[in-house]
Amino acid sequence: MTIKRLPKSSPPGSARLFNEPHAAEAPSAVYTAHVDGASRGNPGPASYAAIIYGPDGSQIFQIAKYFGRDTNNVAEYYALIAALDYAASNNIKRLRVNSDSELLVRQMQGRYKVKSPDLRPLFERAAKIARTLEYFAIQHVPREMNRDADRLANDALDKTGGKTAAHGIQKDGAKDGAMHGAKSGTQPIQSNAATIRVRAHYINGVLVPLEPLDLPDGAEISFDLRRPLRR
């Protein structure tokens, strides 16, 4: 019996956290996401956008949100997390992400270390969701190949009129990627408003939400803090 050796495949253009799906399933079974974040001032008014296309190329999901004052790197992670959250919530098992942020892509690929304490919890959340997928890949693309997500992110900023404190969130004087809680003196949420649970890390005197806040533009928030028990 003669055994033929299969030719070695060339290295992929982008690092993959998981093995390539079976050849019979790729690429038709893979969904594609384009993600982008924007910050005017860096830090400044910030937004994120994500678009997901089905295996047949049709658009199935789109989101664009202004979330307050922050850095571009934080906005890029929020965009990625939004795409991953949608995939995990809608039984999408194979996802390829395109981003024009080299830092985001290289960190998710494991090529760059996540040195910023402000980005660490966002990276960990994105990586945790990605590991639940059967297949996940992320690649760096030129901005012109990501123009739709870029346009959506900037449109979200334009609609705010340049506000720097929507959602009652401030980051005056804070380090990149961190957000302060609502300023004292803002009006509390009305009694008939929906209650949401927000988890966040407390880093260097600021609160960093673990996921994007799904709030309407201009919303004011108030919250109570529960201190962790000291050991």
Which residue is listed with tokens 């296309």? 53
How many degrees, rounded to 5, is the angle at CA 18 between CA 142 and CA 63? 50
pLDDT for position 160: 79
For 138-200, give the DSSP string.
EEE--GGGGHHHHHHHHHHHHTTTT-S-GGG---TTPPTT-B--PPTTSPPPPTTSPP----E
User: In the chain, what are the domain boundaries?
Assistant: 31-163
pTM of the predicted model as reported, rounded to 2 decimal places:
0.63
pLDDT for position 6: 39
Cross-strand bridge partners of residue 59: 53
Q: pLDDT tier at 228 (50, 70, 90 boundaries)?
A: low
pLDDT at 118 over 70: yes
The CATH number assigned to the domain with range 31-163 reads 3.30.420.10
Q: pLDDT by residue (tens digit) across 167-212? A: 322 222 233 333 322 222 323 333 344 556 666 665 545 566 666 6
Where are any strands of DSSP class E within the chain?
A: 31-39, 44-53, 59-70, 94-99, 135-140, 200-203, 206-209
Name the more confident of 41 and 182: 41
Lowest mean pLDDT among 7-16, 32-41, 182-191, 209-218: 182-191
Q: pLDDT by residue (tens digit) across 148-173? A: 999 999 999 998 755 433 332 222 22
Mean pLDDT of all residues belonging to the chain: 75
